[in-house]
Amino acid sequence: MTDEDERSLRAARLIWDCWLAGTTMERLPTELRPRTRAEGYAIQAHYAQFSGHALFGWKIAATSAAGQNHIGVSGPMAGRLLKERVFEPGQMLEYGSNRMAVAEPEFAFCLGKTLTPQAVEYDLEEVLGAVDTLHTGLEFPDSRFSDFTSVGEEHLIADNACSHQFVIGTAMPDAWRSIDLSKHAVTIGVSGRETNAGTGANVFGDPKIALTWLVNELSRHGISLEAGSFVTTGTCTTPIAIVAGDTVTADYGELGQLQATFT
């Protein structure tokens, strides 16, 4: 193991231990801090090994200008979805110590074909040709840093792009392929208390564009997107606040609905 590998492993272990314990740190120790996005991804790469499960897929964080400004980053970030933190409809989720305390309705693509790194960027049609199904999704992000709005994108990438809990719904009707997802309305409500509305345009202009970005971001860093992986593409609405005991409902109109309930 090289010194750089050892450094990224030590950084990953500190973040992972916070994740398991539900605690936070201010920043990584100076000698372990990632200096580039690539170093952030190198730290993140250890989480699947710590998990002990096959990787479920990927998430994209900060796909809107508002989201990027909120956490002080220059653009979107990729994070890994860990299998043990992915839930099905009907499962109760533990609220725990989630400090972000928001829910986000998302479009989640399932790949039917592996996309390997290549020198030329993938175009949207190539990427969509590798998609098997599209699903409803609810993300509940969190950070292992006490002030996630100020640590910077390298730290947040190392923090698995604020990945925490994710609920994956059933596949949407195949009609999604002929729908302009950028204009498709999505709403999210919490226990009858509040509702936020948005469209797919909030996701990098279009969830399909966001998926293509993710494929090329992984390709740039020498990472394959494996067949069977899910990619959740970012929130369609302003994130909605949640508290313990809430039931969250995401409504995609003709494309389906998804609920999640916290203990």
Strand partners, 58: 80, 231
Helices 3-21 and 37-44 pack at an angle, to 10 degrees, of: 60
User: Which pLDDT value is given to residue 72?
Assistant: 86
What contacts 90, CB < 8 A, 6 or more positions away? none
- Mean pLDDT by 10-residue block, N- to C-terminus, for the chain (263 residues)? 95 98 98 97 96 96 88 93 96 96 98 98 98 98 96 97 98 97 98 95 97 98 98 97 97 98 95
The structure's pTM equals: 0.96
User: Which pLDDT value is given to residue 27?
Assistant: 97
Per DSSP, the three-state class of 237 is: coil
User: Which pLDDT value is given to residue 162?
Assistant: 97
68 vs 61: CA distance, rounded Å:
9
Per DSSP, the three-state class of 128 is: helix
Which H/E stretch holds residue 131? Answer: strand 131-140
Give me the CATH code for the 3-262 domain, please: 3.90.850.10
User: Which pLDDT value is given to residue 192?
Assistant: 85
Specify the pairing of strand 86-87 against strand 165-171. parallel
User: Which pLDDT value is given to residue 66?
Assistant: 85
Cβ(87)–Cβ(259) under 8 Å?
no
User: Which pLDDT value is given to residue 74?
Assistant: 86
